[in-house]
Amino acid sequence: MKYKRVLLKLSGEALMGNQQYGIDPQRLDDYAEEIANAVREGAQIAIVIGGGNIFRGLQGASKGIDRVQGDSMGMLATVINSIAIQSTLQAKGIKTVLLSGLYIDKIAETMSGPKAIEYLENGYVVVIGGGTGNPYFTTDTGSALRAIEIKADIILKGTRVDGIYTADPEKDPSATKYESITYDEAYNKNLKVMDLTAFTMCKENNMPMLVFDMNTKGNLTKVLSGENIGTLVTK
What percent of the chain lies above the pLDDT cut of 70? Answer: 98
Task: Name the average pLDDT for the chain.
Answer: 95
In this predicted model, what pLDDT tens digit does every residue of 101-148 receive, in sequence order?
999 999 999 999 999 999 999 999 999 999 999 999 999 999 999 999
Contacts of 175 (CB under 8 A, 6+ apart): 165, 166, 167, 168, 169
What percent of the chain lies above the pLDDT cut of 90? Answer: 88
Report the Cα 99 to chain-centroid distance in Å.
Answer: 14
The pLDDT of residue 57: 66
Write 106-113 long-range contacts (CB < 8 A, 24+): 107/79, 107/83, 108/79, 108/82, 111/146, 111/149, 112/149, 113/149, 113/150, 113/151
In this predicted model, what pLDDT tens digit does every residue of 74-105 receive, in sequence order?
999 999 999 999 999 999 999 999 999 999 99
The pLDDT of residue 64: 85
Residues 118 and 31: their CA atoms lie apart, in Å, by: 24
**Cβ(101)–Cβ(75) under 8 Å?**
yes
In this predicted model, what pLDDT tens digit does every residue of 30-82 receive, in sequence order?
999 999 999 999 999 999 999 999 997 677 667 789 999 999 999 999 999 99
The pLDDT of residue 101: 97
